[in-house]
Every structure is written in C-alpha cells, then in structure tokens.
A and B are shown apart, each in its own frame.
Chain A
C-alpha cells in the first residue's frame, strides 16, 4: 500500500496563478484533510471531508477550494495564489472520526508563491 500520496512535491507559482494539489489514499478511508504548516504556526486545518461528495471548512479556508469527487482523492485548489499562501501543505486521511482514529499523513507539498 502506498498510503497517502501527494502531487506535486514542489511547486513555484507567481502571484495570481492557479493550481491544484492532488491527494490520494489507498486505505479506503472516509475522512480526508488538508493542512498547511508554517514556521511558528504549527499545522492548521484548511478544509476537510467526511466522505465522498462532502467538504467542510477548517480553521483557515480563505483562498482555497476543495473537491472530493472520488473517495480516494481530495483536491485542494488555489484560484489566485498569493505570497501568503507560501507554505508546506499536508494531506491526511483517517478511518471515520478523528477523536479515536489516527490520521495518516502524506509527504507534503512545498509551495512557493512569488
């Protein structure tokens, strides 16, 4: 099993450009999450999904959109990138709720917006 994979691993964008980050999991997990991690700020939840076709906002959703058309995939979109979105993005998945289920994380995508 590959676990959680993220594409791409690195990306440099110019301000105003758009892009989509892809997360895929092969564990048949219901829940999927997108986080960003910045120095001194820790992991912050952007959006999450509790099942195919559902999405919900996390702590820092502004400037991002997500889609969960297939159970195994969770896409994170930036419509008009800003330098403030320079960060490391992590995707995670879990089997059912987060209270008592561990989250499995991908390797991360390092995004720089110039």
Chain B
C-alpha cells in the first residue's frame, strides 16, 4: 500500500533554534511532495510544494528538501518562533494523481 510516514509525533524546541521534521514514503517516488500546516481546530493550510528534481526549496524561514534515493523529505524552520507551533503534515499524490495521501503529522512546540 502507499504509505507516507512522519517519524515524530511531537517535537519540542526552543525559540531561535532550527526545527527539522522528517517525512518518509514507500513504494513509488512521487513527482511532488507537499507540506501543510494545521493549527488546532482549523483545516490544513498549504505551505510548500517541491518537485523531485528540485532537491531543495525555500520560502522565507522555511526550507524543504527532497531525496528520492532515501525516499525522504526534510522540512526545516529556521529561527523558530512560538508562532510556528502547529502540526505539520506532509503529503504525496496517489499514483493516479487524483488525490493526496497525508502523513499523520508532527506537532511542533516552540518555547520561548
């Protein structure tokens, strides 16, 4: 079956540090991976999309990498702030490209 796994359920870091979240997938390599942020009581919000040939993508303090050999994506938040505290989800498309398969998410807590 198609799987996408986020290793850590929770990650606690101090303000100012870099948070690194991991996403691993099995079976086929998707052409794209997506990352979403979800705050309590709200729907997920899209953050970044990375293509398999991009290796790395940045948006402000966010950086995503994509390693098709390791079948892994890393999501980094640099200079983290308490406002970054949320659950972060990674997702890949199913083979037909018609729907997304989501990981269970990693809940990040940034303490001041």
Q: Is the CB of A42 within 8 A of B102?
A: yes
Contacts of A97 in B (CB 8 A): 93, 97-98
Chain A nearest CB from B103 CB (Å) reads 6
Contacts of B43 in A (CB 8 A): 4, 90, 92, 105-108
The answer to whether residues A42 and B103 also contact, given A97-B93, A100-B31 and a CB cut-off of 8 A, is yes
User: Quick one: CB contact mask for A29-44 with B, threshold 8 Å, 1 for yes?
Assistant: 0010101000011111
- Which single member of A43, A56, A106, A107 contacts B102 (CB below 8 Å)? A43
Contacts of B41 in A (CB 8 A): 108
Q: Is the interface of B mostly helix, strand, loop or mixed?
A: loop
Q: A45 an interface residue at 8 Å Cβ cutoff? A: yes
Give the distance in Å from the alpha carbon of A41 to the alpha carbon of B98 in the complex.
21
A-B contact number at CB 8 A: 63
The answer to whether residues A100 and B98 also contact, given A42-B103, A90-B43, A108-B41 and a CB cut-off of 8 A, is no
Q: A77 an interface residue at 8 Å Cβ cutoff? A: no
Q: Is the CB of B99 within 8 A of A48?
A: yes
Give the distance in Å from the alpha carbon of A83 to the alpha carbon of B62 in the complex.
40
Closest to A108 in B: B43
Q: Is the CB of A107 within 8 A of B42?
A: yes
Q: Is the CB of A102 within 8 A of B93?
A: no
Q: Is the CB of B32 within 8 A of A99?
A: yes
Chain B nearest CB from A48 CB (Å) reads 5
A-B contact pairs, 24 of them (CB 8 A): A41-B104, A42-B103, A43-B89, A44-B102, A45-B99, A48-B99, A59-B101, A90-B43, A90-B44, A92-B43, A97-B93, A98-B93, A99-B30, A100-B49, A102-B34, A102-B46, A103-B34, A103-B100, A105-B43, A105-B44, A105-B45, A108-B41, A108-B42, A108-B43
Interface residues of A (CB under 8 A from B): 4, 31, 33, 35, 40-45, 48, 50, 56, 58-59, 90, 92, 97-100, 102-108
